[in-house]
Structures are given as structure tokens and as C-alpha cells.
Chains A and B, each alone.
Chain A
């Protein structure tokens, strides 16, 4: 093993808004990676949604040339990691590609749940962690208190934390010096068979799929034939390069280096994060450790509000998947909502991001059904079935028992809101694992059923704590639970899109809430409409929409006939967007509205 003494690879771990991207910008600026003209705020977050939400979805990287105080020039490779719980596997792969991390904490706010989760991932990955206190220029900054908090909560020595202001540029050089002095240089054998980790990939309209790699051993060169070990695919490398942050071609990437390759790959679905790339003619004996195919945990159906947009939705999903292989979709038909897609996501944020990109970038008006998790159905015949859609739940008589996924949630919350948060967790069937205090903040760890979290938990958490609570989770295990599928019936016919699975203790009250909501949303008709919630064959809640009271044109003479007839013809056409339930036709819009209100 050789040390590559003039290379440092590092990640930045931070909570949303704690200044990760601004710090990255300042470092690029300091090292002269971009001209002033090319510098725009937060260079690394290139998607609109990322910039707006201040989160990073795709890992990105930049290679900086830094002339240190010792007179030597170092290659500093910054790996900008995805910063959200849904992408923790991606984060773990990014962290596996570096030797150290900057832990950026807002000196006015302190450690948040997300920082903590990612810091633990960094500690687990055996990284050298340099605490950095940002926003030190603000009046409200309390560096000493925050240092204590870092020591108490994260368990890191914060005595030599670097105090900076990414906004004003204060302390940026200290950070760069610390990277050189405190982070270990990468190791790797340049003569060994190639072993490079696939850190991330994305679709570039000109170059096709670009792959971000970290070379562990050997060399990656242009024209080389390589194997993707987990995918079992062979490719020939077209381009090798680094980001300065502009993509810049180089002859080769050696051990310890971070850069990109292209290989005429058409979709990112062919590239899996964590895969090992090796040379075809001289392959490595074993792949790098830690590879895991990404698996969706939250499912939801997407329907176009206008059925005519179904094909557009199909095309848009295909395009989106070019750049995000982690979501799945398959066509679905709903009696209530028409044609759509059942989609699987890494988590709730991922769902939101996909939905938002479809609406924004592809200009689609979409409706999303209530998110569902994967239930394991143990059937009486001994088989186990995974249930992705509540509408597909078999009759309870076939089911021996059901298991549901649980999570381990970490919540950080100011003292004064702790009571509300504990009550919320209890209401959601949570089990407390740990409760610790650090200054005026509490850290609670709960085990919670994931299906309780996908159902407006995050919104409730935010409103209960006035926005101060932060939350992170990891998938834990599956446990048996007393769950029931609640069907919503209109005039005795089930509305598939509104079916949901809930714990038996809550099934009835949620069913009742939807019945009441639908009663307000369905326009009155000529006939009474019975709206019911049922578990198994048993009706547990009902509401009745009485017939409409008055609907008659006051004046209708010779000059009005044509207009009245044309109006009727329009109504006949509108029937296509109605769903028949017994004698009544209910506009699709009522179901859409019922689902929309679930968001609130």
C-alpha cells in the first residue's frame, strides 16, 4: 500500500441551512476553481429543487488545487453528499469514498437530528471528523455551548473545532489547512488490479450517463474495458475526468482519486451505487464491501388529473428514471381514478421530490394516493406475500398474520416542545428507546411503525414543535401487528384508490374521517348517496349525502333551446370523467380532492 500524500478526500456533513453549500462555494472560490463570473451561489446543488429546498439529492464532487502553508500543492476532493434520511445508503457510499469529513454545525442552532445521523454514519465509516462551527459572525452564535453539545450528543472532541463564517469568508483557509493537516492521505496500490467504487451516476444530455468514481486500487484510463461487478455488465470507458468543478478530461485516475467516467451507458438504471468497477482483462479478486441494491420502502400511486395526460405521465416517468434509478413504477388501473402508475420510493422526501419534478419539469397535474408501506402477509397456506397496495389486500380469512415495517427514529427537539412530541409518538404507537438532554434540547429515540410515519407524521412533528424539531430515521425491522384494511364504499361499491391499511385501534376513526370528508366533497345528486367505511365485510362508519334540493332553469323559451341542448351535450361528454356508483355518477374530482386533503 502506498500513501498518496498530496490527495485529501472529504465530505461535508450538515443539517439543511447550516451552510454546507455556502462553505463549499467559499472553498472553490479560495482555490480559484471558477472565475467570479462563473460563480453563482451554491454551485454544487444544480437542480432547481435542490437549490430551493437547500438539500442535495445527487452526490457531486469537486477537485480543488490548494497551495497549503507548507508550500506544497494538494488535491482536495470534496464529495458533496445527499443530505437526507431517504438517501442514507447513498450517503454511506459517498462516505466510503472519502477519508474524512467536515461536520458543519450552525453556531446559533446546534446539532440537529440529521447531522447526528450522518455523523454516526461517518463515525461508523471510520472517518476523521473535523467539527466546524459556522455562522460565527452572528450575534446569536454560542460557540462554547455548541462545542459542549457536539461533545455530549455526537461524542466527538470539539476542543479544536474551527470557527468560521462561510458567508463572510472568515476561517475558510483554516478549514483548508485542517483538511491537509488532520485528514489521512488515501492509500492504494497503483499496480494492483483496478478497484473503483461507483459513488453516483446521472444522465447528461450530451455525454450520456456520467459516473462518479473513487479509485481504490489500480488505474482507470480512457479506452479501458471494464466490468461492473454487481451489475455483471461490461463497458468501454470513453472519457475520464475530474470536476474543477467544470468537467475536465484527464488521462487517468489513480488510487485515492475521485473523478468521473463515461462509457456510452444510456440509463442510470444500468449503474448501481456502490458497485465495483474493475478491469476486464485483469479483474480484482473480490468487489469492495458494502454494496446493496436500493429498495423502495414507500409506495404511492400517481394519477394524472386529466386522463388524457396518461401517456405524458408515462414518458415523463421514463425520462425521470434516466436520472434516478431508485424509484420504480408500473402501470395501474383504478376504477375511481382511471389510469396511473404505482410507484415505489426510497422514502417520503423522495416521493415528494419525484412528484414535484413531474409537476414542475414536465408540467403535469398529478394526484398522489396516500403513501403506503410494504406489508408482509403471512397467508394461511404458509406463503408470504409482500403487499404494496392496500387495494390488493386479500380477504382476511386467507391471512394468518400481517407484519409491518418499523423504523428507529431520532428526534431532536427543544425542551418546551418535548411533551407534544412524546404524545405524538405515543399516539403513533411509538416505543421510547432513549431520552437524553443536551443543554436545552432533548434527543429522543423511538421505534415507530413506518405506516404511522408516512401518514402526516412529519407535518405533525413540525407543527407540534413550531418547526423546531428535527427528525431522522432508519428502517429497523418487521413486526407482527393487528392491522386492518379499511375500504371506502360509495353506494356499496368500493372506491379502490381510497382504501388504506391502519392499525385496528385507529381504523374506525380514520374511516369515519374520510366518510365525512367525502360527504362534503361529492356534489349532491338526484339520489341519496351512502358513504361507508368497512373493515372486512363490516361497516364501521357511514354518512349519507342527501339528494340535491333545487336545480332548475327558471327561464327557457324558443331562443334558449339550442343553448340548453349544447349544455346537455357538454354534460354528456363530462360523463367520461365521472365514475358510476350504482345510480349515481361521481366526478373524479371529488376523489382527487379527498386524496388532496390527506396531505393536510
Chain B
């Protein structure tokens, strides 16, 4: 039996929203007028640009993110999906996800998205509590959230929704109740994030305080337990799914596989795997929507920066992303991706210390974080990687 080909994803960034949420630090913009024809051509041109060098790969996932990609005209989504299918080989079970909001204007686009080929919808529900939704600056209320989920379930084979916890004043008991209520609506997948206050957001300017570490830890542990018991174990820090229902596209990021990033500010990672070449390059598109569009129109690509990652940087990325997964960093995959063994890439003393403290587990499968390790993953990574050797 031949080994399956590594996964390969394409990310499409639609940068526009109807309004900007106070906690959001993503590359999203509110625009009065969008020249839909120009934007459509730009996406297709950029796809062509990347198809030239990666057409030998088999696309396993396509992801529309944003912004609010459900606001993208279905004609544009259709053209993008058709272009992907024509320029690349695509996997039989090609996953095509779109992010959407539960507002009425979004709900109206669901059918069009499905017709274009979208087979997985990720809804930004965030909460079923109207007070919380208002605090979060969302355009929808709880009844619209319910309607959106119901409609999405009818139209799309796979759905997921996002929830946010750790809002100011939210107790453990209140969150447990909210989560259990939400579970009755959940399908195969759910993403649960703790509210963080990111620089550049309104919440940051308003000095909204995040949950203190003690409460945050309690909420995190409780969330994992409730969802585990409900048959939705965590496969990543904030992502829970039934077995086999994980988001294949996001797994590409966490497993360090290649992806092409298209649209304003989109990142990509492209390697040219061969027997003894483990080079990987990062790509970054122009961030401002106008700048990206203009650059594509002028040169056929919105690429802003492209540079090779050194082996140490590659190692760091594989751990930064891989340890977020329940499965951890796979020894076999790491060897394929870097040409060196997992353990040789680390400082033995630091690894031993973290294992000794019950933060990490290391076995023949690879290295993964324990429950305690996941809870403190940023510090674990800093300890592990800051002592790791320089790799050539």
C-alpha cells in the first residue's frame, strides 16, 4: 500500500465585513462599494499564479475565510471553486468550508454557497445569550443564531459553530449552562474560544479585562470535560469534533503541511519536497485590500513577501502548531518534513524536564502535550524551543 499523499490546502481571504467586532484583530474591513468583477478576476488570477508551481499537488481542502466570506457573491465562489478544480487535482472528499455569520443577510446566501460547492459551513455564533452578543458587538441575536444553525444543517452536510467564553463577569456555572444548551444544537464539530483582548481592537482600547488565569483555567478544563462527555473531544486547543469530523483544512496548518494563501494579507507555506531538500517558503500577500487588488491587476499576483524558512524556523513552526493538537507532533511526519528526527531537533534536558513535570509525553508516535501541558502550552513551547539547538 502506498502512503497517502500529504494534505494540501487553499485558503481564500475575503476581507470585507458588514461591521467590525470589538474583539476581532483579523484583517477585515467595512467597505461602501466593492467592485465585484474586479475582485473576482483578481482571485482567479492569483489562483492561476499559484497553480503554475503547485499543479502537481492534490488539493484536499479549500477554505473561505475572512472577513465575512458568506457575503462574497455566489458567482465569485462558484468561479473560484471551478478554477481550483480545473487547475489542480482535487481529492475525492475535497472539503470546502466557508465562514458565515448568523445574520439574516448571511442566511440568505447559504443556498448559493452550497450550489457553488461549499460542503461545510462554519458559523460565527459566539453565544446564545442576547446580552453577550450585544457586548461582543455581533449583528445577530440568539433567535437568528438558532435559525441559522437550523437552516445550515438542512443545507450543508457538515457544519460547525464558534462560541466565546470568559466574558467579563461570566461565572463557571453560567458558562456550563450555556455550553450544555449549545450542545443540543451542535453537530459534528464545535470551536470554543476563550475571549482574549488583542492589541488594536476596541476591547483593548476600552481596557476590557480578560478572565484571570485561575478562572480561565477552570473554564478551560470544564469545557474540555463537558465536550468530551458529549462525544466531542478536543482535537486541538479550541476545536472539538466527533472522530473523523475534524476540520481537514485547519489540520493542514497544525500538521505543518503546505497551503496556498490567496487574498489580502493571506499567508502561505509552499515546500518542494524531494529526497534531500526540505526547503519551505512562506508567502505573504499585501494586507490592505486596495493594495492587494492593485498589485494583482498590475503584476498578476498580490504577493508582498516570499522567503525561505530556515530549518530551525521550520522546527519551531511545526512545534508551535503541532503541539496544539491532541495527537501532537508526529515523529514520522516530522522526519518527512525536516529530514531529521524529532528528538534530535530538541534540547534533551528541556524535553526531559517538561516530561518530568507531566507537561509532555514522548513515545514512538511522537511528542504531545498532556492536559496540564495544553493549559500552559505557550510557556511549554517557550521553554522547549528557546533551548532547542540551531539546526542547519
Residues of chain A touching chain B, judged by Cβ–Cβ distance below 8 Å, are 525-527, 547-559, 561-562, 564-565, 568-569, 571-572, 575, 583
Contacts and interface: CB of A to CB of B under 8 A. Distances in A.
B320 interface: yes
A547 B356 CA distance: 14
A526 B376 contact: yes
A526 B357 contact: yes
Contact of A549 (B195, B217, B250, B374): B217
B321 A561 contact: yes
Given A549-B214, A549-B375, A553-B377, 17 more contacts: A526-B354, A526-B357, A548-B379, A551-B378, A551-B379, A552-B237, A554-B193, A556-B237, A556-B253, A558-B253, A558-B261, A559-B11, A559-B267, A561-B269, A561-B317, A565-B316, A568-B381
B238 A555 contact: yes
Contacts of B26: 559
Given A554-B238, A559-B267, A568 B353 contact: no
Nearest to A571: B382
A150 to B, nearest CB: 59
B286 interface: no
Contacts of A552: 220, 237, 374-378
A558 B385 contact: no
B86 interface: no
9 contacts: A526-B376, A526-B380, A548-B213, A551-B375, A558-B250, A558-B259, A558-B268, A561-B321, A571-B386
Given A526-B379, A556-B237, A551 B213 contact: yes
Given A552-B378, A559-B267, A526 B359 contact: yes
Nearest to B211: A550
B282 interface: yes
B31 to A, nearest CB: 20
Nearest to B385: A568
B213 A550 contact: yes
Given A526-B357, A550-B217, A571-B386, A558 B11 contact: yes
A140 B196 CA distance: 62
B265 interface: yes
Contacts of B259: 558
Contacts of A583: 353
A553 B214 contact: no
Decide if the interface of chain A is mainly helix, strand, loop or mixed: loop
Contacts of B375: 549-552
Contact of A527 (B27, B268, B353): B353
Interface of B: 9, 11, 13, 26-27, 193-196, 213-214, 216-217, 220, 237-238, 250, 252-253, 259, 261, 265-269, 282, 284, 313, 316-317, 320-321, 324, 353-354, 357, 359, 374-383, 385-386
Nearest to B380: A526
A547 B261 CA distance: 39
B126 to A, nearest CB: 13
Contacts of A569: 316
B386 A548 contact: no
Contacts of A558: 9, 11, 250, 252-253, 259, 261, 267-269
Contact of B193 (A527, A550, A551, A555): A555
B238 A568 contact: no
A571 B313 CA distance: 14
Nearest to A573: B386
B62 to A, nearest CB: 13
A550 B376 contact: yes
Given A552-B376, A565-B317, A559 B238 contact: no
A526 B353 CA distance: 10
Contact of B250 (A527, A547, A557): A557
Nearest to A580: B387
B320 A559 contact: no
A547 B359 CA distance: 12
Enumerate the 10 nearest inter-chain pairs by beta-carbon distance, A residue then B residue, closest first. A550-B217, A552-B377, A558-B253, A549-B213, A550-B213, A551-B379, A549-B217, A554-B193, A551-B378, A572-B386
A172 to B, nearest CB: 59
Nearest to B266: A559
Given A525-B379, A550-B375, A568-B320, A562 B282 contact: yes
Contacts of A561: 253, 267, 269, 317, 320-321
Greatest chain B CB density within 10 A among A548, A561, A564 is at A561
Contacts of A575: 386
A565 B315 CA distance: 10
Greatest chain A CB density within 10 A among B27, B282, B320, B385 is at: B320
Nearest to B221: A550
B382 A565 contact: no
B321 A556 contact: yes
Nearest to A557: B253
B376 A551 contact: yes
Nearest to B369: A552
Given A526-B354, A556-B237, A558-B11, A550 B267 contact: no
Nearest to A578: B386
A403 to B, nearest CB: 46
A552 B253 CA distance: 17
A555 B193 CA distance: 7
Contacts of B193: 554-555
Nearest to A561: B317
A527 B195 CA distance: 26
Contacts of A547: 357, 376
Contacts of B321: 556, 561
Nearest to B13: A559
Contact of A564 (B252, B320, B354): B320
Contacts of B380: 526
A557 B99 CA distance: 14
Given A552-B375, A556-B321, A527 B316 contact: no
Contacts of B324: 556
A168 B316 CA distance: 75
Nearest to B220: A550
A549 B216 CA distance: 9
B10 to A, nearest CB: 11
B59 to A, nearest CB: 15
B376 to A, nearest CB: 5
A362 B345 CA distance: 46
B371 to A, nearest CB: 11
A479 B1 CA distance: 89
A76 to B, nearest CB: 64
